[in-house]
Structure 1
Amino acid sequence: MRFEAERVALLDPERLWSAGEVLGRPGPVPRAAGVYGWRFTSAPHEGLPVGKLLYVGIAPRRMATRTSRQNLRSRVRYHFRGNAEGSTLRLTLGCLLGLELRRVGSGRRLTFTVRGEAELSAWMAEHAKVSWVEHPQPWLLESELIANLDLPLNLDQNKRNTFYAKLRAMRAAARERARELPIST
């Protein structure tokens, strides 16, 4: 593997950080580019391991025509307190935990509503732990990690994972159900 030091740092981090620590001021997460990894002290779904690296994400995200302006600090903090529309991790966890996805606002955005997002934030505050590693081109490291590790909560670039089909179906069913329901206020 090309990024051995970074892989080791995410698989066996010196420290795992909780929501309270990450969301505190000034907070430990750097305003830098890199990859973050998530573990949970309670399995978000039957059959998923506890305490093992289950998901990696990056900041900034590289898109076809530009690179996002996000950094590790903004992205990790958003995962802890944002909503499912802006966080693939939150969308995945909410679906796995059985929260109801709904259309909100104009009807184009999908979230777990204020109540569901608060429930998800509380679950994450109790069970989610995160670590990170700085890297100037995190998309390269992310691709390498997904190709070589068992990361069941990542869908992008991860069709070979045994949990892929189940997770993809759960998320699709949640989206389909949300489109059938009236817009939530």
Structure 2
Amino acid sequence: MANRTSTQNLRKRVRNHYRGNAASSTLRLTLGCLLGLELRRVGNGQKMTFGKAGESTLSQWMADNARVCWIEQNEPWTFESQFISRLDLPLNLAQNGHNAFHSRLEELRAQARQRARELPISS
């Protein structure tokens, strides 16, 4: 992650997590899978979301339960690596293979994707 740059600022990233969908937010994908929402292929079948109802349910759950905080940092990619290595952050997959929940979370997400591939494309 060192020296990586992003085309989005923090506001855009947070907004995407709160208002986007599982296809564009790994956080939404993770939370939806943990909440048992049904992942579905949409559009041309390349993207997967929880559908309008599921995404709406997830957005409401996040509004009720999720909070955001941040720390200003000149080199956030360095801070992120240190943060993930020192704290128990079970929802982070990147750089977090040491976490006890990592393999289970990867498995849950993979199972949701596999089920979505087996279902018809949702409108």
Match of 1:80 in 2: 18
Amino acid in structure 2 at the alignment position of 1:170? L
Amino acid in structure 2 at the alignment position of 1:118? S
Matched, 1:124 2:58: no
Q: What is the TM-score normalised by the length of structure 2?
A: 0.94
- Helix, strand or coil for the counterpart of 2:67? strand
Task: Tell me the alpha carbon deviations over residues 73-129 of structure 1, each in whole angstroms, 9 at most, x when there is no partner.
Answer: 111111111101111110000000000001001100011111110000000011111
How far apart in 1 are the matches of 2:93 and 2:121?
A: 27
Select the residue among 6, 9, 14 that pairs with 1:71.
9
How far apart in 2 are the matches of 1:149 and 1:90?
A: 21
How far apart in 2 are the matches of 1:182 and 1:116?
A: 16
Q: Within 5 Å, which residues of 2 pair with 1:137-148?
A: 137-148=75-86
Match of 1:160 in 2: 98
How far apart in 2 are the matches of 1:155 and 1:116?
A: 23
Q: What is the TM-score normalised by the length of structure 1?
A: 0.63
* % identity of equivalent residues: 64
Alignment gaps of 5+ in structure 1: 1-60
How far apart in 1 are the matches of 2:37 and 2:69?
A: 26
**Moved beyond 2 Å, runs of 4+:** none
Alignment gaps of 5+ in structure 2: none
Shift of 1:68: 2.6
Select the residue among 100, 112, 117 that pairs with 1:174.
112
Matched, 1:90 2:45: no
RMSD: 1.2
- Helix, strand or coil for the counterpart of 2:63? helix
How far apart in 2 are the matches of 1:162 and 1:142?
A: 19
- Helix, strand or coil for the counterpart of 2:14? helix
